[in-house]
Amino acid sequence: MNFLDKAAKSAAENVTAWRDRFGDRITGGRPSRPRFLDGGNACGVIAEVKLRSPSRGDLAGDTDYLALPRIYQSAGAEAVSVVVEERYFGGSPELFDQVRDRTDLPLLWKDFVVHPFQIELAAHLGASAILLIAGLLKGKDLADMIDRARAVGVRPLVEIHDENELNLALDAGADLVGVNNRDLVTLEVDLELSWRLAPHLEGSVQGVAESGLRNPQDVIRMADLGFRAVLVGEAFVTSSEPLKSLADMVRAGRRECHPR
């Protein structure tokens, strides 16, 4: 069983546990959040709160990770991503709740979504956007999840890793596509993937470059390729100076670029 299969199995188990913890509380109103990647002509930075990595283990260490949302906002991040998967990434819906209370920025719920309940819970807890992985959701399932997210006011970010998955995402109606430079089967990172797939993001489709981006030069390159945003996590969580690291990337992304 490869990592993506393991993560999908864990996500299904999380759904059961989360129903017990939140199931009777997701029918009311939801906190109001700003729209995700709304307008703008720069390459924004989505800064991530991620406590663990399946390839690197514990990331936060002695870092006050609950201070990160305020640091991200003060450094100019356009949005904050929160990894809520529990077994492999050390996240939880409660972590999302804590982050939400510490920033006014749009929030991305980052998970291995396999059930509509995850979308409902994300919306209830105030997510502005939710990650949907094309490698997990095929054909009609992906289209249904996109429609469901939009119906509850959450923007779907559809993650892909190759041209075939990109075509699946576009056929399903995605207008925001994340190119994950990390292969979720092998966990290897190839930054050239964003370069190869960028020309296929056309028209009204916005692109987000994900994984392996660590410095302002990486952001400039993605901006020049036309990406609307970059998603960066480990570089900030493990940095001794996350405020400076993020501010440098934000400045790099504000160079003139041409978001799709």
- Which residues are known catalytic residues? 48, 50, 110, 159, 180, 210-211
CB neighbourhood size of 2 (10 A) = 12
Q: How far apart are CA 236 and CA 253, in angstroms?
A: 16
The β-bridge relationship of strands 206-210 and 229-232 is parallel
Measured in residues, the chain has a length of: 260
The distance of Cα 131 from the centroid of its chain, to the nearest Å, equals: 6
**How far is residue 260 from each of residues 129, 178, 179, 227, measured CA to CA in Å?**
18, 13, 14, 7
DSSP string for residues in 124-144: HTT-SEEEEETTTS-THHHHH
Q: How far apart are CA 162 and CA 179, in angstroms?
A: 8
